[in-house]
Amino acid sequence: MDDFYREIIIDHYKSPAHRGQLEHKDYSFEDENPLCGDFIHVDLTLDENQKVKDAVFNGHGCAISLASTDLLLDAIRGKTLDEVKMLTKQDVLGLLGIELSPVRLKCALLPLKVVKAAVYKLTEADDKLVE
């Protein structure tokens, strides 16, 4: 357990660095995990080199989904859209640094799903985005 809620997860959950909302955004998406009620909204902007400049979120959920969101938004700053589209489940698990059961995996992957749906400009997010 002490391995599970690692300090990094608790830190990002309790004091997220990227909570917020952008008035002017280039990409935006939100989705929920109806099974547990986790809800994440993400706003992104790009810089002149078409790289992610700002990435913020708001929403609510469990420690895993919120820490995963904050860590992911940290990681995508400075990346090109193509690089963001290439991100996988393994990348998110790498950021969290823990093993997850199938139920908790859904929590962890919600932000990746939202971010990818945003950059692909989808109207609906699909689990296939994060497989």
Sole binder of another protein in the list 64, 73, 109, 110 (CB under 8 A): 64
CB of 99 to another protein, least distance (A): 12
Using CB under 8 A as the binding rule, whether residue 4 contacts another protein is answered as yes
Q: Does 35 contact another protein by CB under 8 A? A: yes
107 lies in the site for another protein, by CB under 8 A: yes
Asked if residue 63 binds another protein (CB under 8 A), the reply is yes
Contact call for residue 97 and another protein (CB under 8 A): no
Which lies closer to another protein via its Cβ, residue 62 or residue 122? 62
Regarding 62 and contact with another protein (CB under 8 A), the answer is yes
Q: Specify the long-range contacts of residues 118-121, CB closer than 8 Å, at least 24 apart.
A: 118/27, 118/28, 118/29, 118/42, 118/44, 119/27, 119/44, 119/81, 119/84, 119/85, 120/85, 121/27
Q: What's the per-residue H, E or C state across 49-102?
A: CCEEEEEEEEEECCHHHHHHHHHHHHHHCCCEHHHHHHCCHHHHHHHHCCCCCH
Residue 24 binds another protein (CB under 8 A): no
Binding residues for another protein (CB under 8 A) = 1, 4-5, 10, 13-14, 34-38, 60-64, 103-104, 107
